[in-house]
Amino acid sequence: MVDSAAEMNTDMWCTSESCRVKCNQQLPVPDYIYLPGDFIVLVTMPVHDSFNEYPDLWSCQKFNAEASLRAEAATFARTRLNELFEDKGLNLGLLILDTCFNTALTQKLLTDVLNGTTDYCNEEQCLDRSKIIGLVGDYSSHISVTEQRLMIPANIIQISYGAATWQLDDKTEFTHFLRTHPSATRITAILIKLLNNLNSAGRTDINSVVLMNTDSLYGKTTAELVRSHLNKSNYCIIESFQLSYLGEETTGTYDSIWSTLQSYGERSFVIIYCGEGKVNKFQSHLLSIRASSLASNLWTTVVYEIKRACKVRGSFTSSTANICPTNESYIMEGSKVNVGMYALYTLKAMYALVYGFMNYADRECEGQSIKTCSKLLDRTLYSSQELKYNIGRVRIPQNDSSSETGGDAGLSPFDENLDGKSSYQVFSQQLIPGTSNYRYVLVYEFDSNNDISVPNDSDAPIFYKTDSSDSSEVIQDVLVSRSCDLHCASFCLGPEESNHSSTAEPTKDNQQTITIAICLG
């Protein structure tokens, strides 16, 4: 890795920049992991990030720690599923492809796999592409659409663990596609229902919003959908901003947005952001203008504690003294909990594909071993749609310690449109009385049918205002976000003609508060 013995002696640990560059050139990042088996599941995920433009379309850059959790989830699922179906002779393998968040690279990798133009091997054997039974991927919408264009002619079923764009709602066009993540269509409907409920409950008087989105397929299509729903529900969009999903914005960009909003004077704003969570500069900027005393986002810990009615070690948000079990998969100390939701959606996708495949095998190979049933490796339109049928109606275990799927014991991961079937919880960050610390309080729940409920009437959303000294104070009045200027004038009709009953005016106590509603997927 070095040019001479002299350089080796002076830099034997390769600490110089020149040595590290040479090492990177000689040790390229592998773009796949192959785990052999009798039946192979393709898995795609951006284990690295790549924001390259022509002519550099292939190289991968920064390691994506969150995506690595999804790869770990896929390999865990493979191990567990092989255990669950050991008596039926299942030997499941994986080929995990690193897409680097790059559409061109994804096309190249999948084309190589499907055409057999590249060998994918481990130390013992190489991939037999005839054994591929399905694709689990991808996280992003633009890559998932690209993958589906390749999977349809290949008659391979694809289950995405992300890709919320409404463009993938049409299963008559995307005939080989399912997803465990809910569609942006449903997420947007929930968001509008949340705004309406805040107004009807008298906590807010909102008639206008600021719409912000990234320029990715997901960001742009979701913004289009949100804009349509806002117009139909009589909300005015006073400003729209578009950010680069490649993270190319500077702090000055966000300062400019902030300056534009301040030009409206003493007002409050609801900002709806549609886009990827990977726009780190945007998140950092929001944190820089937020009260520094607010707690870090502990929602993953809180969700687990609420579901299990227990306290994660190291967490200070739980009201119960019952300690959560420490012998379960992916449970860490509360101070280190960073469970990616997409890792959970990856697990659902893996389980749904394999349980559906095994149900399909029971129907097609009655009396035969799955190892000798050649029908399972047929790749025709009929066989692919039969497999999709079984996957779409599958029930999977509620947790990895169980194999029960019958009756109420099983979880249905898909709705009638073969999109993700999940419920949602809305938390309000609130000051703990008598302290300077904050906690997350559950204020709304949405079930899989989009019905809204209030778990505890005493836990209402609370809004805060901050001053120049960064101290926070509760807004006692109604939070007002109204605009009657120019194109928003028609949204300021009397209460008898409007969807919003409140006529509250901005006061000193309810001005200059920003509420962030985030659509991710």
Residues of the chain with CATH 3.40.50.2300: 187-291+478-519
Say whether pTM exceeds 0.85. no
- Cβ atoms of 491 and 206 within 8 Å: the answer is no
* 249-286 tens-digit pLDDT: 677 787 888 888 888 777 777 888 888 765 555 555 55
Split at pLDDT 50, 70, 90, the class of 58 is low
d(CA 64, CA 282): 18
Residue in this structure with the two tokens 């409404």, named with its chain if needed: 166
E strand residue ranges, 277-423: 396-397, 410-411
Planar angle of CA 491, 495, 499, nearest 5 degrees: 60
Q: Give pLDDT, residue 295.
A: 40
Checking if the pLDDT of 97 tops 90, the result is yes
Fold of 187-291+478-519: Rossmann fold (3.40.50)
With H, G, I as helix, E, B as strand and everything else as coil, classify residue 396: strand
User: CA dihedral in degrees (242, 513, 338, 77; nearest 10)?
Assistant: -60
Angle of helix 251-262 versus helix 280-288 axis, rounded to 10:
50
Residues 148-157 have a mean pLDDT of 96
* 422-472 tens-digit pLDDT: 888 888 877 777 777 777 788 888 888 888 888 877 678 877 776 666 666
Q: DSSP for 209-264?
A: EEEEEESSHHHHHHHHHHHHHHHHTT-EEEEEEEE-TTS---HHHHHHHHHHHHTT
Tell me the residue length of the chain: 521
Which stretches within 55-207 are classed as H helix?
Answer: 65-84, 103-115, 141-154, 184-200
- Of 146, 62, 151, nearest to 100 by C-alpha is 62
d(CA 439, CA 318): 9
- Cβ atoms of 204 and 479 within 8 Å: the answer is yes
Q: Give pLDDT, residue 303.
A: 60
